[in-house]
Amino acid sequence: MTLLLGVLEEGLIYGVMALGVYITYKILDFPDLSVDSTFPMGAALTASALLAGINPVLTLFLSFGAGALAGCATGFIHVKLKVRDLLSGIIVMTGLYSLNLRFAGGRANVPVFTQDTIFENPFLAGIMPQWLSPYLMVLILFLIIIICKVLLDLYLNTRSGYLLRAVGDNEALVTSLAKDKGMVKILGLAIANGFSSLAGCIYCQHKGFFEISVGTGTIVMGLASVIIGIQLLCPENGTSFLSALKLPQVRPTTAVIVGSIVYKACISLAISMGMEANDLKLITSILFLVILVVSAERRKKVKSHA
Amino acid sequence: MLKLNNISKYYNTGTVNEMCLFQDFNLSVEKGQFVSVVGSNGSGKTSMLNIICGSIPVDSGTIYIGDENITHMPEFKRQRRIGRVYQNPAMGTCPHMTILENMALADNKGKSFNLRRGTDKKRVDYYRENLRSLGLGLEDKLYVKVGVLSGGQRQAMALLMSTLTPIEFLILDEHTAALDPKTAETIMELTGRVVKEKKLTTIMVTHNLRYAVEYGDRLLMMHQGQAVIDEAGERKAAVRIEDLLERFNAISIECGN
C-alpha cells in the first residue's frame, strides 16, 4: 500500500511536469531541454521562499511564473536570436544551473522539513480527520493536477489555444492568419516551463528539501510519460484499448498523467525487483529507449497495413 | 492597387553561383483584376508571389498596396490583407485539428486570438453553409480531423479558409498542380466562383495553360524575371493556348533546351 501510494505521489508530481512536456513535444513539436533546469528552479525558489516564511500556496504561483519566464527565455533565444531549438534549451538549462544555486542561497542542498508546506500546515491539520492522513498527500496532489489539467484543457480550446495547436501543426497557416508564429511558440514554451517549475515546487514541498541535481533527466521522464500515455490511451490512429472495450475516450492531457503514473510504477517495479537506487537513471534511460522502440515499431506496422 | 517598383532580387549573392532573378522588375495590378501568370520553371513566378507576400526579402525596389509602402513589413502582417493558397494542399490547413476548428481559426483572422472560446457555437451554421457551397459533403464531417481528408478536399478547404474573412488579395501559387485532373477542375471552378463573388484582386500562378487562358482578365508570361507577354482585357480574351505554346517553344530554343 505504501508502495502504491508512493508511486501515485511521484507519478502525480511528475505528471504536472509531463503536462508541460506534452505542450512542447506533442503540440509545438519542440524538443525543449530547458525543463531539466526549470524543474529544479521551482524547487530552489520554493525552498528559499518557504524559509523566508512565504505562504506555501503562494509558492505554487511564484514557481509557475518563474518557470514561464525561463520558458520565454528559451523561446526568445530560439525565435528572435534564431538559435536551433535543441541548443536554445541547452543554453537555458546550463545557465539556469548556476542561477538555481543562487536562488537556493548558494547551497546545493536546502532542507525545509521544519517549514509549513501545502501538505503539512496547521490549517490542514485542523480540518483533516486522522484516518485520512496517509492519503492526504495523494489527495492534495490529485487536486492540484486536476486543476492544472482542466485549466490546460480549457486553454487549449480558447482562440489562443487553437493558435498554439496550429503553430505545431502547420506554421505556414499561423502566418496566413496574420499572426507572428514566433510569439505563439514563446507563449507555448512559457506555459510548458511554468508547469515544469510548478512540478519542482510541489516536489520540494513533498520531499522536504531542495537538491540541485533533482532536475537531471526530467525531460526523459516527461517524454516517457507523454509517449506511454498517448500510445496507451489515445494513439494517433485512434484505436486504443479504450475504444476496444467501448470505454469513453480520454483527452491527451489525462493520458499524459496516466502515463506518468505508469512510468513511475515501472521504475518502482524495477527497484523492487532488486535494482539499486543508484541504477535509477540507468533504468530511466533504458526504459525510455524501450518505450521509444516499441512505439516506433507500432507505427511501422500501422503504416505497412495502410 | 498593388505596385512593384524597380524590384531587384539576386540569389547567392557574392558566390560564383550568383544569379539575378529580377532586375528593375515592375508590375502593377488594378483593383479587382484577376491575373494569370504562366512561365517555365525558374522564370520567377513563385519568387514574385513570395516577394509580394514577404516570404523573401527584395534587394532593392519598393512594394505598395494602395498608398502604403509594405516593402519592409513582415510577412505575417501583410497576410492581414492577403489570402494565399499554396501548391501543397497540406499548407493551408491544420491536419490534427477538426474541420470545425480549422474553420474557426480561419474565421478569427484579423481578430484577437484571446481567451474566448475557440469555436463560436453561433457561427457553426455559417461554417456549415460555407462548406456546403464546396459541394464536397464536408459540412457533415465537422468533427473529422482534416488530416484524413484527400488532397482535393483539403485544397478546397484551404481556398475556403483563405477567403473566409474579408481580404484584398488572393494569391494562388499553382494551387491545382498537386491535384488529379478532375479535382483540379473542381477547385478551379470553385476559384473562379469565389473570386467573382467576393470581387477579389487575384494573382494566380499556374502551369496549366488552359486555366491561364480560360480564367482571369489579364495574362502574364514570365521569362528570366521579365514579363514577355502581358495582355489584359479584350486582347487577353483573344489569347489562345497555341500562342502561348509557340512562345514557350521560342523561349526554350533561345535558352538552348
- Collect all residues of chain A within an 8 Å Cβ-Cβ radius of residue B77: 178
User: What pLDDT score does B257 carry?
Assistant: 54
Residue of A27, A208, A33 lying closest to A110 (CA atoms): A208
Q: State the nearest Cα–Cα gap between A118 and chain B, in angstroms.
A: 29
Asked whether residue A126 is domain-assigned, the answer is yes
What is the band of B224 on the pLDDT scale with cuts at 50, 70, 90? confident
Average pLDDT over residues A250-269: 92
In percent, the amount of chain B with pLDDT more than 70 equals: 98
Tally of helices (H runs) and strands (E runs) in chain A = 13, 2
Partner-chain contact A162 B80, CB within 8 Å: no
**Does the structure show a pLDDT above 80 at A65?**
yes
Residues of A in contact with B79 (CB under 8 A): 175-178
A67-79: pLDDT as tens digits = 999 999 999 999 9
- What sign results for the dihedral spanned by CA atoms A113, A117, A121, A124? negative
Q: What is the mean pLDDT of residues B202-212?
A: 92
Note the pTM of the prediction, 2 decimals.
0.90
Please report the pLDDT score of residue A189 as a whole number: 97
**CATH assignment at residue B13:** 3.40.50.300
For B62, the 3-state DSSP assignment is strand
Within a domain: A16: yes
Burial class, A280, CB count within 10 angstroms (exposed 0-12 / middle 13-18 / buried 19+):
middle
pLDDT (0 to 100) of residue A192: 97
Mean residue pLDDT of chain A comes to 90
Total structural domains in chain A? 1
The reply to whether residue B84 touches residue A158, judged by beta carbons under 8 angstroms, is no
Least confident of A59-63, A174-178, A280-284, B81-85: A280-284
> If you measure CA to CA, which chain A residue comes closest to B96?
A169
The whole-number pLDDT of residue B226 equals 86
DSSP-based helix, strand, coil % in chain B, nearest 5: 40, 25, 35
Q: Which of A118-122, A184-188, A243-247, B129-133 has the highest mean pLDDT?
A: A184-188
pLDDT at A304: 44
Half-sphere exposure of A278 (CA within 13 A, CB side): 0
pLDDT at A240: 67
Q: Say how far apart CA A8 and CA A260 lie, in whole Å.
A: 9
Domain of residue A58, residue span:
2-215
Q: How many domains, in total, are found in chain B? A: 1
In a domain? residue A229:
no
**Is residue A54 scored above 90 in pLDDT?**
yes
Rounded to an integer, the average pLDDT of A10-21 is: 96
Q: How much is the average pLDDT of B86-104?
A: 93
Task: Mark yes or no for CB contact B91/A177 under 8 Å.
Answer: no
Q: In this complex, do B76 and A178 lie within 8 Å of one another by their Cβ atoms? A: yes
Percent of chain A exceeding pLDDT 90 equals: 69
The C-alpha cell at A4 is: 502504491
Query: So what's the pLDDT on residue A305?
Result: 42
Residue A291 lies in a domain: no
Quote the domain boundaries for residue B190. Answer: 2-255
**Closest-approach residue (CA) in chain B for A27:** B96
Over residues A147-179, the pLDDT tens digits come to 999 999 999 999 999 999 999 999 999 999 999
What phi and psi, each to the nearest 5 degrees, are found at residue B72?
A: -110, 15
Look at residue A66 and tell me if it is in a domain.
yes
Q: Which of B56, B70, B76 to mutate to test the interface with A (most CBs of A within 10 A)?
A: B76
Residue A131 has pLDDT above 50, yes or no: yes
Amino acid A292: pLDDT: 83
Predicted confidence at residue A237, as pLDDT, reads 64
Distance from CA of A285 to the nearest CA of B (A): 30
